[in-house]
Chain A
Amino acid sequence: AQSVTQLGSHVSVSEGALVLLRCNYSSSVPPYLFWYVQYPNQGLQLLLKYTSAATLVKGINGFEAEFKKSETSFHLTKPSAHMSDAAEYFCAVRKAAGNKLTFGGGTRVLVKP
Chain B
Amino acid sequence: NAGVTQTPKFQVLKTGQSMTLQCAQDMNHEYMSWYRQDPGMGLRLIHYSVGAGITDQGEVPNGYNVSRSTTEDFPLRLLSAAPSQTSVYFCASSYPHVSGAYNEQFFGPGTRLTVL
Contacts and interface: CB of A to CB of B under 8 A. Distances in A.
B25 interface: no
Contact of A101 (B41, B105, B108, B110): B105
B45 interface: yes
B44 A103 contact: yes
A43 B90 contact: yes
A70 interface: no
Given A43-B90, A51-B102, A101 B45 contact: yes
A59 to B, nearest CB: 12
Interface residues of A, number: 26
Contact of B40 (A9, A51, A102): A9
Nearest to B103: A99
A46 B40 CA distance: 19
A103 B42 contact: yes
Interface of B: 4, 31, 33, 35, 40-45, 48, 50, 58, 90, 92, 94, 96-97, 99-100, 102-105, 107-110
Top 10 closest A-B pairs, CB basis? A103-B42, A43-B107, A44-B107, A103-B43, A99-B31, A43-B109, A105-B42, A51-B102, A99-B97, A105-B40
Given A43-B90, A90-B42, 10 more contacts: A9-B40, A44-B92, A45-B107, A49-B102, A99-B97, A100-B48, A101-B105, A103-B44, A105-B41, A106-B42
Interface of A: 4, 6, 9, 32, 36, 41-46, 49, 51, 90, 92, 96-106
